[in-house]
Structure 1
Amino acid sequence: MTTYKFKQMVASGELQRIRKGIYSYRDSEEPDNDMVLAQQFFPNAIISVFTAANFHNLTTVIPRTVQMTLPSSGTRKLSMPDYPSIEIFFSSEKSISLGMEQVEVDAHTVNIYNRERTVCDMFRYLNKTGIDTAIEVFKNYMGDIRNRDINLLLDYAKQLRVYKYISQYVEVTIG
């Protein structure tokens, strides 16, 4: 394909730029879900924080970026895509896989933290999430009696060093 033809296809909208050097056809079967696209750019990363909370219906906040967690050791300078907008958090090798599960999103497998890990992360990154949102996520988690595991939540809270926050809220909530 000539450069002229390529530029013509981009200008007409037949091709869409995903990131520098990567284009896709508009009508292709490529995923249009931001989580799936982000997972394809960073296959070892795990969907986390607001994005995971939104996926699990724990918050009313719609994340502006796809938030992902990578291991802090061995992570080199990352080349970020133009789209989707991705925010990276880092976690130790010891805790990176804690609470990770794989789910199907638009027929693609995505690594994401489970509900308990997501609640803990909201308190772990309190300076980025804010206390109001962390409490909202906690209340929504506790309100879903069929899908909560308080023992697992407290176990994760100990391992992630947010036990003092989580245990106080659990105690107040369930007496």
Structure 2
Amino acid sequence: MRLKDFAARNIGPETLARLVREGIVVRPARGLYRLADQSADARRTLAEAAVLVPKGVVCLVSALQFHGLTLQMPSSVWMAIERTAWRPRIDYPPIRFVRFTGSALTEGIERHRIEGVAVAITDPARTVVDCFRYRAKVGIDVAMEGLRESLRRRKATSDQLWRYATKARIWPTMKPYVEAVANDT
């Protein structure tokens, strides 16, 4: 929660400071608070990142992990922000930023409620295409795992992958991988 969330519930800054001193509430990052008995997990970390970067979109390996398309546990939350946007300085949770422009930041985005927070996350097909687009950063093995699992679990179709890859202009690069995995399954 943020300070404004406490204020909406008629909890003032003095009361919040007292709750932090008493150890009932912890402050993992500037402007971010949570109950002390709540442990950090992957989903909560996504919600915390979404609170701190409200216009950001969870993407790449973090989105693969959210959709259950990889066994990778990213050490940072991957978030996309507008190309010209100011890059926030955040110590916790660790966030790796990538820059998207125009429709790349709005198309193929799903909103999920996590811990009461609306979190923007790329859909499975879009996530796989983005992993191929940023394969130098995430690794081709991660992109292949996401592709294989998305087709095997029917979370994405070849047509959806083609549509996103064509818009991203990477279909010629991605096509042999999609065909190989589609023939394999």
Q: Check if 1:105 corresponds to 2:114.
A: yes
Where does residue 79 of structure 1 map in the other structure? 89
Give the whole-Å Cα distance in 2 for the aligned partners of 1:40 and 1:9. Answer: 19
Where does residue 169 of structure 1 map in the other structure? 177
Matched residue count: 166
Give the whole-Å Cα distance in 2 for the aligned partners of 1:62 and 1:18. Answer: 20
Q: Check if 1:38 corresponds to 2:46.
A: no
| TM-score using structure 1 length | 0.82
* Displacement after TM superposition at 1:166 (Å): 2.1
* Displacement after TM superposition at 1:22 (Å): 4.8
1:93-147 C-alpha deviation (Å, 9 max, x unpaired): 23211211111223332110000110011111111111111111111111123x3
Give the whole-Å Cα distance in 2 for the aligned partners of 1:58 and 1:92. Answer: 25
For residues 6-21 of structure 1, the aligned pairs below 5 Å read: 9-10=20-21, 13-20=23-30
Give the whole-Å Cα distance in 2 for the aligned partners of 1:8 and 1:168. Answer: 57
| TM-score using structure 2 length | 0.78
Q: Check if 1:67 corresponds to 2:78.
A: yes
Give the whole-Å Cα distance in 2 for the aligned partners of 1:114 and 1:43. Answer: 18
SS for the counterpart of 1:110 is strand
> Which of 146, 153, 177 pairs up with 1:144?
153
Give the whole-Å Cα distance in 2 for the aligned partners of 1:121 and 1:35. Answer: 18
Where does residue 55 of structure 1 map in the other structure? 66
1:43-74 C-alpha deviation (Å, 9 max, x unpaired): 1111101110001111000111111101102x
* Displacement after TM superposition at 1:163 (Å): 0.8
1:142-165 C-alpha deviation (Å, 9 max, x unpaired): 1123x3222111010011122123
SS for the counterpart of 1:95 is helix
The one-letter amino acid paired with 2:118 is T
Give the whole-Å Cα distance in 2 for the aligned partners of 1:163 and 1:40. Answer: 34
Unaligned runs of 5+ residues in structure 1 are none
The one-letter amino acid paired with 1:68 is M
RMSD: 2.6
